[in-house]
Amino acid sequence: MNTNAPHTAAVFGSYGHTARFIIDELHRRGFALALGGRDPEKMRALADAHPHARTQVVSVDDPASLDVLLKGASVVVNSAGPFGDTTGPVIAAALRAGIHYIDITGEQPVTRQTFETYRDRLAGSGRLFLPALGFFGGLPDLLATAAMGDWAAADDIAIAFALSSWHPTEGTRKAGVRSAGKRVTFTGGRLVPAGGGRADPVDWDFPGLGTRPVHGMATADHITLSQHLKTPRIRTFMNEAPLSDLGAADTPPPVAVSRDGRSAQTFVVDVVVRRGEEERAASASGRDIYAVTAPLVAEAVARILDGRTAPNGVATGMRAAGEVFDADGFLSGLDAIRYARR
């Protein structure tokens, strides 16, 4: 047995827009790859593009095919939407294989259902299950955890997103339709239905950008942060430009402007936590909200398989990213973002 053989990461839904970034990043980091998806033609094209990887046609309707994909893997990354359909079967397959699980959904209702269904059930599984490890859900959770530092609780956690634009993928548009009427916010220490309509904007002073008007919104971050950070209120905001893009039916999908496939879109995520009169903050900026999911996932995979987890003794079960990683160290190690605390 070759003890120096690389760990294998399985990626389900591997020909999707974000999955392609994840595959490239995992390969760059030296992981062996097992790639699966439902469409035979797309899988043949993926096999041609990645001759170093093991590829196969896989369907959540065929559990045996999932078992074959995950055989020999150490972790599975679920990047296949609609996540409301794929999360349960892929989690079940990960349990059968005895491996770790990550997904990249940004859908708030799916994230909520996943935690409510599996958090207690997987507590003794001996493996980690990390839902919503992407631009929404994962990145703000790590930023908020880093900003909290040694505080045991905060009176308020506020997250603001500033995007230069938002050219949504087909999956993003479908997720928006599926999430309509199901979103919640976190106030009074509990999840409550989000109000309809758009409230009047408030001003937010973004690092490096200055003041921008932002609108309140409901995101997966209400779910991930509320799993482990003690606060009675979580608020999330976004500037007008991306919301207008997302609301327009004729906004085109992302267009690559560089050889690595990233679009020209830029972003800033700013998190402010407040306790009494004190405030702490952490921010991250970079390019392409879809592409930045890849280094987040790959860093998580590397840390899980290297044993660099559980700063508070949490090393198993369904968790948010900030529960299982040194948030400051995790973010500081990502070349794809500019990270700062203040």
Domains of the chain as residue ranges with CATH: 8-133+293-326 (3.40.50.720), 138-289+334-341 (3.30.360.10)
What does the pLDDT read at residue 4?
66
Give the model confidence (pLDDT) of 106-142 as tens digits.
999 999 999 999 999 999 999 999 999 999 999 999 9
- Is pLDDT above 80 for 189? yes
- Is pLDDT above 50 for 1? no
The pTM assigned to this predicted structure is 0.96
- Is pLDDT above 50 for 2? no
Distance CA 87, CA 81 (A): 9
Distance CA 248, CA 177 (A): 13
What lies within 8 Å, CB to CB, of 148 at 6+ separation is 154, 229, 273, 280
Residue 27 half-sphere exposure toward CB, CA atoms < 13 A: 17
Give the model confidence (pLDDT) of 36-94 as tens digits.
999 999 999 999 999 999 999 999 999 999 999 999 999 999 999 999 999 999 999 99
- As a whole-number percent, the residues of the chain with pLDDT over 70 amount to 98
- Is pLDDT above 80 for 312? no
- Is pLDDT above 50 for 327? yes
Whole-number mean pLDDT of the chain? Answer: 95
- Where residue 5 falls among pLDDT bands split at 50, 70, 90? confident
What does the pLDDT read at residue 197?
65
Distance CA 136, CA 158 (A): 14
What does the pLDDT read at residue 315?
79
What lies within 8 Å, CB to CB, of 134 at 6+ separation is 18, 104, 105, 106, 293, 296, 297
Distance CA 35, CA 87 (A): 17
Whether residue 207 has a cis bond before it, omega within 30° of 0: no
Three-class SS state of 278: strand
Distance CA 94, CA 112 (A): 20
Distance CA 159, CA 222 (A): 10
